[in-house]
Amino acid sequence: MTDAVTKITLQRGLAIAVTLGLLLLVFELVRRKRLSERYAILWLLAAATLLVLAAWKGLLTSLAGDVGISYPPSALFAVAIGLIIMLLLHFSLAVSRLSDQNKILAQRLGLLQQRLERSEDQAVEREPERSTVGR
Contact residues for another protein, defined by CB under 8 A: 27, 30-31, 36-38, 40-41, 44, 101, 104-105, 108
Surface-to-core class of residue 68, CB atoms within 10 Å of its CB (0-12 exposed, 13-18 middle, 19+ buried) = exposed
Query: What's the closest the beta carbon of residue 30 comes to another protein, in angstroms?
Result: 5
C-beta separation of 78 from 57 below 8 A? no
- Residue 30 vs 55, nearer CB to another protein: 30
Query: What's the closest the beta carbon of residue 118 comes to another protein, in angstroms?
Result: 19
Quick check: helix, strand or coil at residue 125? helix
Query: What's the closest the beta carbon of residue 62 comes to another protein, in angstroms?
Result: 28
Quick check: helix, strand or coil at residue 5? coil
- Residue 41 vs 85, nearer CB to another protein: 41
Closest by Cα among 81, 77, 84, 42 to 60: 77
Query: What's the closest the beta carbon of residue 108 comes to another protein, in angstroms?
Result: 5
- Residue 14 vs 40, nearer CB to another protein: 40
**CA count, 13 A, side-chain hemisphere, 121:** 6
| Dihedrals phi, psi of 2, to nearest 5 degrees | -85, -10
- Residue 30 vs 87, nearer CB to another protein: 30
